[in-house]
Chain A
């Protein structure tokens, strides 16, 4: 469905963040991308969604294709409208000073049709908690509610592919579990999901396939279950594995076994 070929992204013309990332998103799956801080996960999503321009980044090489048509360099609005790729930024991208209902209407702005109201009802069905507080300002909602709002705002744009950037950031474990449940349900309703996460264990548990990104490269990929059992992933992302703890210096050890796509 979505293919990324050898993507290289540079910020401010000098800072190279992605050094040739290739990956493929298949229709109807939950794709997990895990990696350390600064590995380039967020940049990858920004590049796909067309937001990279706003952050003064450039795609200097490679291509992003949506079913054989290149969407590289298109405006964020165009990518969303024409190809149904919606990017939910990290850290709960809701408008604090607007009420929850206004937030949802603002997110439906790119659509001209009159079905916004019925869609909003559907979203409220999905997240009943939002319905009870729909006239409250989003800034007063709790972290979990804000994240749910962010996802429902994304739903208002009628996405085909949902790019989620660390939805569990700063949320309590119980809420995270609920959130991942919701993501799974969304996927079952037919939305392809790309999920970037630090919480590797929970993410890989609901995911179909996964990629491990490190310093702007894909170093590992496979089915989510395989990754969960992979010794290196267990050690560096799941915090378990061999008994003796290696120093962080060795963390990049498995780069030698890297598979190029």
Chain B
């Protein structure tokens, strides 16, 4: 009995991280009807950006310079085309952003020597890393998704598939494919009650994921921008007709999504190590959103916890029977069962499409 409760508890904690991954897919799916298959790559990029800031692991100049140049070009270009700024203003602004990025990657923020306390360092580095991840998401959206606005969602989905390959190659070019040790050194909050033992890292992962999840929901349902996102999610054309800049909303959604994926990525890296091959973890989001329903935010939470539980139970009860690796398959079996009973997921909107 204690064994089961222990298993279920750890399942829920991991499940919360999965729920966050699911949320990232769901908000993009709601806004543009596209499934983001590049989620694994976003996860690694977010983790690496945080890694660079937190551990001050800088890059050689021949890697930092192209990154800075890319940011410079992107910002100048976007400010001119989207914000209608004059070249005289846009180019210096873009140059400033590019230089900033170059210096962050080449020199680093020197956080480890500036801030001794790992907790404080985490508190400073996390928002910066997440912001960087959000910018990456926005940059990617600007170049790949925006030109497809108003086109078939299938086109966008296929673009994200290709994008995944491209980003993975970029990551390997920049950071190589070896593992980086990733140790956040957060305060130990290991929970030990009688015969229960919950390790500190999963608890932190669960708490931070839940917090991020809650923040995203507050943003979506309590702010003006969130309202614009929800309106655009329902119908891009209607939103545009009422003066909501659907293009910018889409940019924002991708930014937020990339930011949340980065939180999940950092938490998952904290369980072990960070490496360019870690992207497959992101694909755990597939059973999560399909079980919960592709367009349901609450469904992502429930789906995430279900997948976490399923994995934990399979891991500690079925794998010892000799079925090694069954843990990886179990969520998909659960998915199959759910889809047989409810083809739109547990909380998905049943769509009526007339042929």
A residues neighboring B (CB under 8 Å): 49, 51, 53-56, 75-77, 80-81, 86-89, 93-98, 102-103, 105-107, 109-110, 153-154, 157
Contact = CB atoms under 8 A, between A and B. Distances in A.
A150 to B, nearest CB: 9
Give the contact-size bracket for chain B: 20 to 34
23 contacts: A49-B241, A51-B237, A54-B236, A76-B240, A76-B241, A77-B243, A80-B242, A93-B237, A93-B238, A93-B241, A94-B238, A95-B234, A95-B239, A97-B230, A98-B230, A102-B230, A105-B224, A106-B231, A106-B239, A109-B224, A109-B243, A110-B243, A153-B242
Contacts of B151: 56
Interface string B129-154: 00000000000000000000111000
Given A98-B227, A98-B234, A56 B150 contact: yes
B299 to A, nearest CB: 15
A96 B241 contact: no
Contact of A54 (B149, B234, B243): B149
B227 A81 contact: no
A157 B243 contact: yes
A97 B234 contact: yes
B240 A77 contact: yes
Given A89-B237, A103-B231, A106-B244, 18 more contacts: A51-B237, A51-B240, A54-B150, A54-B240, A55-B237, A56-B150, A77-B245, A80-B243, A81-B243, A86-B243, A93-B241, A95-B238, A96-B234, A98-B230, A98-B231, A102-B230, A105-B224, A110-B245
Contacts of B150: 53-56
Contact of A109 (B227, B234, B237): B227
Interface in B228-259: 228, 230-231, 234-245
A167 B238 CA distance: 15
Secondary structure of the A side of the interface? helix
Contacts of B149: 54
B350 to A, nearest CB: 14
A97 to B, nearest CB: 6
B33 to A, nearest CB: 15
Contacts of B243: 76-77, 80-81, 86, 107, 109-110, 157
A110 B244 contact: yes
A77 B234 CA distance: 18
A38 to B, nearest CB: 19
Contacts of A86: 241-243
B242 A106 contact: yes
Contacts of A81: 243
Contacts of A94: 238
A110 B246 CA distance: 11
